Amino acid sequence: MGKKAINRNGVIKVYEGVPKTLYSSTGTYLNAPAMTSGELRSAGLFDVVLPDGYDSQIHDLSEIYWDSANTQFTYDKSNKTWSQTVAELKEQKIANLKSSANSELSKTDWYIVREAEGGTAAPQDILDERAGIRTTVATKESEINAKTTKASVITYDISL
């Protein structure tokens, strides 16, 4: 169930879903989640719909408003602006990628340290996993550096 909203005396109240108690111009409803969708609409509670293509990473939302043509509450979206240059955003994204990789590698560092200090050799599956992380980082870093717009850098997924 998505967000819902109601207009009470010119003020739009947004809920994460149907509230347990709903106060509307038609009355107070103590068990609103048990109401049918028709009853909720009659009480003034309608869906909140985000604009097509909305991505919180690259878009800002306007104030919520009533869309009478579609009988729903909605927002307009606009492109975010960033003070950083594309190069600065790339640098930041790559730093985050490397930090994430470091965190993953640190989980198995003890195998490498143990081997380096003259102990048991690190298992091959651990060495393969670590090599895979480094390869993925190198590939993603190249892909980030190939980006040409701020939005494409911002939305690039650095998950390992």
Per DSSP, the residues of 78-106 read EE---SS-HHHHHHHHHHHHHHHHHHHHH
What is the number of other CB atoms lying within 10 angstroms of the CB of residue 157?
A: 7
Mean pLDDT of 115-140: 96
pTM of the model: 0.76
What are the structural domain ranges in the chain? Answer: 4-79, 86-154
Structure tokens at 53: 């293509």
- Measure Cα distances from 114 to 103, 104, 106 in Å: 18, 18, 13
Question: What is the DSSP code (8-state) at residue 69?
Answer: T
Residue 123 pLDDT > 80? yes
pLDDT at position 119:
86
- The whole-chain average pLDDT of the chain stands at 96
For the stretch 75-97, pLDDT in tens is: 999 999 999 999 999 999 999 99
Residue 1 pLDDT > 70? no
Name 65's bridge partners.
74
For the stretch 138-153, pLDDT in tens is: 999 999 999 999 999 9
Mean pLDDT of 46-71: 96
For the stretch 25-46, pLDDT in tens is: 899 999 999 999 999 999 999 9
